[in-house]
Amino acid sequence: MASHGIEIKNLYKIFGPRGRDYINAVQAGLSKAELNEKHGHVLGLKNINISMPAGGITVVMGLSGSGKSTLIRHINRLIEPTFGEVVYDGLDICAMSDNGLREFRRHKTAMVFQKFALLPHRTVIENTVYGLDIQKKPRSESTKRGRYWIERVGLSGFENHYPNQLSGGMQQRVGLARALTNDADILLMDEAYSALDPLIRVDMQTVLLDLQAELKKTVVFITHDLDEALRLGDKIAILRDGEVIQQGTGQEIVLAPADDYITAFVKEVNRGRVIKAGTVMRPLEGSMDGLRVGTTTTLESAAKEMCEQEQTRALVVDPSGVPIGVLDLQTIVSAMVTPAKTEIPKLAAE
């Protein structure tokens, strides 16, 4: 289990030959448009500060051009920062030597790409153990580990197939098996499921959540899809024009969007799948028997249980089973209704 989170501190990325020359100007308020028009440089990231919890899934989401893929590539330093820190296990990745960075990439991080990035001339098992080959592990050991993870992602029997013999969803399972075989603490997933059909995409989300419940990796997941972010993310950070607009749990973002831009994202969300019983329960007055639900039970699940058991309310209990509140169907209905409409901005890609 990963014991260290990732701390991103005051991170800036300005694309261009003299990016560092414009840090002070950007910090003083020079806009992305002005930087491009006047100086021919592009502002990729501006003052990013995110704590990514150890053993959890942090989802970074935003539209095309928001900076999310630029951000994830700073964590393994595929992109060099202009200014700032990315700290893991007390070390600033941005300040590592070439040798230190090489070791960090080989042993601490693994990446799953949108376009699968499988080697076409290598079989499923050979692709899966590729990272271990780079580490010069004995092939007998790496093959044993590779076969284990191939089975875990549901691809037993396909070890000797080549990528072009597999569907897109199967290829992405190979990519996930390759990352897990590496046994890295940090799993970086850049739009990993965006190229998949919707049903396969949901299936792969389930695979990730099931594995994560056991493995507790520190996962950074990039997406432009809010439903995916809400389903996967222990924490969500929403980017726009290279800046963090809001970060928090899915509940926090859905219940209290920071501005009209976030409101536009969340207005069509099924709130019942996001809001938890413990958030909207009423105080418990007196004693009560009957159906019990946990504080982290979603309103949708709680409502389903009530209907199945022909109940109109349920006790909300803490993790030790002690009743701490009460939830009724009227409260659920009220919480699931989106607040009064506001003027919704256009969500054109930047």
Q: Are 291 and 316 in contact (CB under 8 A)?
A: no
| Kind and range of the H or E run holding 13 | strand 6-15
pTM (2 decimals)?
A: 0.86
Give the residues across from 112 on adjacent strands.
189
Q: What is the pLDDT of residue 1?
A: 46
Q: With a cut of 50, which residues of the chain have pLDDT below it?
A: 1-2, 340-350
Q: Looking at the domain that runs over 271-336, which CATH code has it been given?
A: 3.90.1280.20
Is there a contact between 328 and 313 (Cβ–Cβ < 8 Å)? yes
User: For the sheet containing 6-15, what is the strand order?
Assistant: 42-52, 6-15, 83-88, 91-92
Write out 52-75 in H/E/C secondary structure: ECCCCEEEEECCCCCCHHHHHHHH
Residues 6+ apart with CB under 8 A from 146: 125, 128, 129, 132, 159, 177, 181
Q: How is the chain split into domains, by residue range? A: 6-108+184-266, 271-336
DSSP assignment, residue 224? S
Can you give the C-alpha Rg of the chain in angstroms? 23
Say which CATH topology domain 6-108+184-266 has.
Rossmann fold (3.40.50)
Rounded to an integer, what distance in angstroms lies between the CA atom of residue 146 and that of residue 124? 9
Q: What angle do CA 241, 186, 14 make, to 5 degrees?
A: 30
Q: Residue 306 is encoded by which pair of tokens?
A: 């009530």
DSSP alpha helix (H) spans, the chain: 23-27, 32-39, 68-75, 98-107, 124-128, 130-134, 139-152, 168-181, 198-215, 226-232, 250-255, 260-266, 277-280, 299-308, 329-336
Task: Note the pLDDT of residue 339.
Answer: 59
Closest CA to 48 of 256, 263, 238: 238
pLDDT in tens, 134-184: 888 888 889 999 999 999 988 899 999 999 999 888 898 998 999 899 888
Give pLDDT, residue 295: 92
**Tell me, what's the pLDDT at 349?**
36
